Homo-oligomer: A and B are copies of this chain.
Amino acid sequence: MPQTQSKIDQRDLPPFLAACRGLPVPHTPVWIMRQAGRYLPEYRKVREKADFVTLTRTPELAAEVTLQPLRRFDFDASIIFSDIMTPLQGMGVALDFKPGPVVDEPIRTRKQVDALRPLLPDQDVPFVMESIRMVRSELPSKVPLIGFAGSPFTLFCYLVAGKPSKEFSEPRSFLHAEPAISALLLDRLADAMVVYLRAQADAGAQALMLFESWGGLLGPQDYATYGMPPVRRIIEGLSDLDVPLIYFANQGGANLRLISDLKVDVVGLDWRVPIEDARRILGAGKAVQGNLDPAVLFAPKDTLCRRIDDVLADAGSGPGHIFNLGHGIWPETDPDAVARLVDHVHERTSDSK
């Protein structure tokens, strides 16, 4: 793909989108997962007046908190403020956030899977698309907006467990006790995420990210059986779109060989995977995103900068690296550390690529 772009196209692309496509960039683009969130006092202020669900369902508020980090920091991308569980509410799943998603009736039967409605984004979750349109109208052209969804297996974990969990033993045992119902539910979720992500792209999202938050709980054999097929179904369902697809493979180190077969543009890496190893396994056709440990933001300035340099060195001097944390930023983080991070990545990589 990189080779088919003309020089003029390359110069027109914002650095984030260029990096997604493995093209040369003026500096390594940087954004961070959960950059709109509780570590920002201005976010907490909005949350004092509106609960989390209200925030995700009110375009003015979702757009406001999406834009907050962009006013403070020189991020190269924004990501729409929403939750991976939001579209499931549109499919008829009753759930609440306490603060993690809690499902009223965890899915355990074929009947419950059959009762799920196909997602009609413009009818079920119009506020997400409206948020995207509002953010796009305010963002400078050099800062692309990312839309996102949860991976089918990750959504499956919450739907079957019914609540957040450390090990997700119920969904993981359900896979083995009820493989047919599991596969059906995973397919339904994949179909819904196809139309959901497509609607986000239609509304203006310039890249799409799939959060495989819990796929790393599956060993390679079960990831191949249950994790990958619905992801492949999503990728195929979106193959006509001209927006880069990012796949965040949290805890996915052991599954990278399988992931290398997925036709995604970018693979997001958690902080435990050496980027150099990942790039070798994934091959030259994929860009990578990551992967500073969010804990390192608590280090003194010198250490923080050294650790950023380590990540940059690990990523190498070739194109196709988007700097990010290896996981979402923690609420206790000092925003000044984020400013340091963004500036240091830009300074260190400007004109070097």
A interface residue numbers (CB < 8 A to B): 164, 166-167, 169, 172-177, 216, 218-222, 251, 253-255, 271-274, 293-299, 303, 307, 310, 326-327, 330, 332
Contacts and interface: CB of A to CB of B under 8 A. Distances in A.
Contact of A169 (B177, B216, B332): B332
Given A166-B166, A254-B274, A295 B220 contact: no
Contacts of A169: 294-295, 330, 332
Contacts of A175: 295
A203 to B, nearest CB: 32
Contacts of A293: 172, 219, 222
Contacts of A255: 272
Contacts of A174: 298
A173 B332 contact: yes
Given A253-B253, A272-B254, A303-B176, A219 B166 contact: no
A335 to B, nearest CB: 15
Of A216, A271, A299, most buried by chain B (CB within 10 Å of CB) is A271
A270 to B, nearest CB: 8
Nearest to A170: B332
Contacts of A166: 164, 166
A184 to B, nearest CB: 18
Given A216-B272, A221-B307, 13 more contacts: A167-B327, A169-B294, A169-B332, A172-B293, A172-B295, A173-B297, A173-B298, A176-B296, A177-B299, A219-B271, A219-B326, A251-B251, A251-B272
Contacts of A251: 251, 272
A77 to B, nearest CB: 23
Nearest to A254: B272
Contacts of A172: 293, 295
Nearest to A326: B219
21 contacts: A166-B166, A167-B327, A169-B295, A173-B295, A176-B295, A176-B296, A176-B298, A176-B303, A177-B298, A177-B299, A218-B272, A219-B271, A219-B326, A220-B274, A221-B307, A222-B293, A222-B295, A251-B251, A253-B253, A254-B272, A254-B274
Contacts of A299: 176-177
Nearest to A223: B272
